[in-house]
Amino acid sequence: MDLSPENVEFARKYVGIDNIYCADSFEYLQRKECIYDCIIGKDIFEHIEKARLDELLGLIKISLKTGGKIILQVPNMDWIMAQHERYMDLTHEIGFTKESLGEIFRLYFDDVAIYPVIYEFPKSFESKLRIRLLKPVAVKLIRFLFKILGEGASNTWFEHREIMGIAKKER
C-alpha cells in the first residue's frame, strides 16, 4: 500500500503481486480487523504527524491477528548525519531514536525489540578494509569522545543510519 499511484504501479510491474493498493493507511486499516499476520513499514512513520501516530499504531494493532507482528524501519535520529536525514525531506514530520521508537511501540505492544539496521555492501578490497578495520576504530574513538561529553551520548547508535522496531501483538 502506498499513497503514490506511481509507486503502486511500479510495484505491480516489478514485484509481480496483484494486491498492491493506492490507499491511505488510516482509511484502509479501519476496515481490516484481525486479518494480518505481519505489517511491514519502511520509512513511513517519520512522515506521519506526531498527533496521528497514536491513531495509526492503534489501527495497526487492531489489524493484526493475535501473535501478529509489526516490523517498522525509520531513520535513526542518533545517526551522526541525522540532521541531514531529518531535514533533507520536507515531508518528514518526526524523528525517532531507539528510545523513542521503543517507547511508542510499548504503548501498544508487549513484546518489543529495537535493532540497528546495518548496511554494508563493500564492493572493492579497499572498501572491505575500511569497513572491517577502520570503522570499528572510528566508532570506538567517537564513543569514547561521547563518553567524555557525558549526557548518555556514548549509548547512542550514531553509526547506524536506520533503526528497526519489531513488536508482537500478544492479545
Give tens-digit pLDDT for 75-95: 988 877 777 777 777 888 888
Q: Where are the alpha helices (DSSP H) in 30-119?
A: 50-63, 82-87, 98-106
Are 26 and 39 contained in the same domain? Answer: no
Cβ atoms of residues 82 and 75 within 8 Å: yes
Q: Which three three-digit cell numbers place residue 100?
A: 523513542
Q: Give domain status of residue 149, yes or no.
A: no
Q: Give domain status of residue 141, yes or no.
A: no
Q: Give domain status of residue 148, yes or no.
A: no
For strand 36-42 and strand 64-75, is the pairing parallel, antiparallel, or unpaired? parallel
Are 45 and 10 contained in the same domain? Answer: no
Answer whether residue 121 shows pLDDT above 70.
no
Place 115 in a pLDDT band, splitting at 50, 70 and 90: very high
The C-alpha atoms of residue 146 and residue 68 are separated, in whole angstroms, by 38
Cβ atoms of residues 62 and 34 within 8 Å: yes
Q: Give domain status of residue 128, yes or no.
A: no
Are 49 and 93 contained in the same domain? Answer: yes
Give the CATH number of the domain where residue 76 resides: 3.40.50.150
Split into its structural domains, the chain has a count of 2
Are 70 and 98 contained in the same domain? Answer: yes
Mean pLDDT of 106-124: 85
Are 87 and 66 contained in the same domain? Answer: yes
Its pTM stands at: 0.77
For strand 162-168 and strand 111-117, is the pairing parallel, antiparallel, or unpaired? antiparallel
Question: Measuring CA to CA, how many Å separate 74 from each of 30, 141, 154, 166?
Answer: 23, 26, 21, 12
Mean pLDDT, the chain, whole residue set: 84
Are 84 and 163 contained in the same domain? Answer: yes
How confident is the model at residue 18, as a pLDDT?
A: 75
Q: 13-49 pLDDT, tens per residue?
A: 888 777 888 888 898 888 888 888 998 988 889 999 9
How confident is the model at residue 151, as a pLDDT?
A: 63
Q: Give domain status of residue 126, yes or no.
A: no
How confident is the model at residue 157, as a pLDDT?
A: 67
Please give the residue that has the higher pLDDT: either 13 or 159. 13
What range defines the domain where residue 18 resides?
1-31
Are 114 and 67 contained in the same domain? Answer: yes
The C-alpha atoms of residue 114 and residue 106 are separated, in whole angstroms, by 11
How confident is the model at residue 153, as a pLDDT?
A: 61
Q: Using alpha carbons only, how large is the chain's radius of gyration in Å?
A: 18
Are 41 and 114 contained in the same domain? Answer: yes
Q: Give domain status of residue 151, yes or no.
A: no
Answer whether residue 168 shows pLDDT above 80.
yes
Are 46 and 106 contained in the same domain? Answer: yes
The C-alpha atoms of residue 63 and residue 66 are separated, in whole angstroms, by 10
Q: Give domain status of residue 1, yes or no.
A: yes
Are 14 and 70 contained in the same domain? Answer: no
How confident is the model at residue 109, as a pLDDT?
A: 93
Are 56 and 105 contained in the same domain? Answer: yes
In one-letter notation, the amino acid at residue 119 is Y
Q: Give domain status of residue 5, yes or no.
A: yes
**CA torsion 52→57→62→67, rounded to 10°?**
180
How far, rounded to the nearest angstrom, does the alpha carbon of residue 156 sit from its chain's CA centroid? 16
CB proximity list for 32: less than 8 A, separation 6 or greater: 62, 63
Are 108 and 39 contained in the same domain? Answer: yes
